[in-house]
């Protein structure tokens, strides 16, 4: 089954404790992206990747890192999480940036 | 910077009605526009993607139109059903391959 898988689905942690949210797709997609969704602000793009070793900033990259060492994986790294990064995070992938995106089910992060 | 607006923010209709959701964008230099559906607690499901060279796309009871010159798109849902209840979002890509989303229209179809 074609899918985008995010882990964990839920995480409660404390300020400053490094965490990684994994994202994996099994569709051989080149384009992958991370978004955060916040009430009143909607979905905003954090980072995206056009292909392996090619990443670029979205609208709200501050406080986040990403890597794309393999085509299927696009982890989101919070080196020193802060409470303002409490949000619902989505990973997405597509064949190319101008093709329909497939979304994961989301990761709800709470930073205390 | 691209801005995407969706009106109305919420809509409640009785089952069987035809309805139109609106999406407007400020920068008409887009190469496509996507409509998504989001169910509570779930990710987004792509419904329709319209390339900039197209004026509309259809999938089942859904029809999306695109008017680049006026910066508008509409999503038409025919014969609405309770299962159509969800939040509908439109999104357009920017010049740097970023995707900008509208804030969504929350649709409730009453049985």
CB contact under 8 A, A103 and B45: yes
Q: Taking 80 as the threshold, does the pLDDT of residue B52 lie above it?
A: yes
The mean per-residue pLDDT over the stretch B73-83 comes to 97
Hunting for tokens 């969706």 — which residue is that?
B6
Q: Taking 90 as the threshold, does the pLDDT of residue B95 lie above it?
A: no
CA distance A16 to chain B (A): 27
Count CB neighbours of B70 within 10 A. 10
The pLDDT of residue B61? 97
The pLDDT of residue B96? 58
CA distance B19 to chain A (A): 23
The mean per-residue pLDDT over the stretch B77-103 comes to 89
Q: Taking 80 as the threshold, does the pLDDT of residue B94 lie above it?
A: no
Q: Taking 90 as the threshold, does the pLDDT of residue B28 lie above it?
A: no
Show residues of chain B in contact with A35, CB under 8 Å.
99, 101
Cβ–Cβ pairs < 8 A, chains A and B: 59
CB contact under 8 A, B44 and A90: yes
Confidence of residue A108 (pLDDT cuts 50, 70, 90): very high
Output the 3-class SS for A38-61: ECCCEEEEEEEEEECCEEEECCCC
Q: Using one digit for the tens of pLDDT, what is the confidence trace for A23-64? A: 999 999 999 999 999 988 889 999 999 999 999 999 899 999
The mean per-residue pLDDT over the stretch B50-75 comes to 94
The mean per-residue pLDDT over the stretch A76-83 comes to 97
The pLDDT of residue A68? 97
Name the more confident of A26 and B42: A26
The mean per-residue pLDDT over the stretch A75-100 comes to 93
The pLDDT of residue B30? 86
CA distance B17 to chain A (A): 27
Q: Taking 80 as the threshold, does the pLDDT of residue B67 lie above it?
A: yes
Name the more confident of B40 and B59: B59
Show residues of chain B in contact with A106, CB under 8 Å.
41-43
Report the C-alpha gap between B6 and A107 in whole angstroms: 25
Mean pLDDT of chain A: 94
Q: Taking 90 as the threshold, does the pLDDT of residue B40 lie above it?
A: no
The pLDDT of residue A74? 98
The pLDDT of residue B97? 67
> CA nearest B90 in A: which residue?
A43
Count CB neighbours of A40 within 10 A. 5
CA distance A99 to chain B (A): 8
Can you spell out the DSSP letters for chain A? ---EEEE-SEEEE-TT--EEEEEEESS--SEEEEEEEETTTEEEEEEEEEETTEEEE-S--TT-EE--SSSSB--EEESS--GGG-EEEEEEEESSTTS--EE---EEEEE-
Tell me whether A39 touches chain B (CB under 8 Å): no
Query: Do residues B87 and B68 touch, judged by C-beta distance below 8 A?
Result: no
Tell me whether A60 touches chain B (CB under 8 Å): no
Which structure tokens are listed for A19?
């965490």
């Amino acid at each position: 089954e074609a899918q985008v898988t995010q882990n964990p689905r839920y995480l409660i942690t404390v300020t400053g404790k490094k965490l990684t949210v994994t994202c994996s797709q099994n569709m051989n997609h080149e384009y992958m992206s991370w978004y955060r969704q916040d009430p009143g602000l909607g979905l905003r793009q954090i980072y995206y990747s056009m292909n392996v070793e090619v990443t670029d900033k979205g609208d709200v990259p501050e406080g986040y890192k990403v890597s794309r060492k393999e085509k299927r994986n696009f982890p989101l790294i919070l080196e020193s999480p802060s409470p303002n990064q409490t949000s619902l995070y989505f990973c997405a992938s597509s064949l190319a940036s101008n093709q329909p995106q497939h979304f994961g089910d989301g990761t709800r992060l709470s930073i205390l | 910077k691209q801005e995407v607006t969706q009106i109305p923010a919420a809509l409640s209709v009785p089952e069987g009605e035809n309805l139109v959701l609106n999406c407007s964008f400020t920068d008409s230099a887009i190469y496509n526009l996507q409509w998504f559906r989001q169910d509570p607690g779930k990710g987004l499901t792509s419904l329709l993607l319209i390339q900039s060279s197209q004026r509309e796309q259809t999938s089942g009871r859904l029809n999306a139109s695109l008017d680049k010159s006026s910066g508008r798109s509409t999503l038409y849902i025919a014969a609405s059903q309770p299962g159509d209840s969800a939040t509908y979002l439109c999104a357009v890509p920017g010049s740097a391959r970023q995707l900008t989303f509208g804030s969504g229209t929350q649709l409730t179809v009453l049985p």
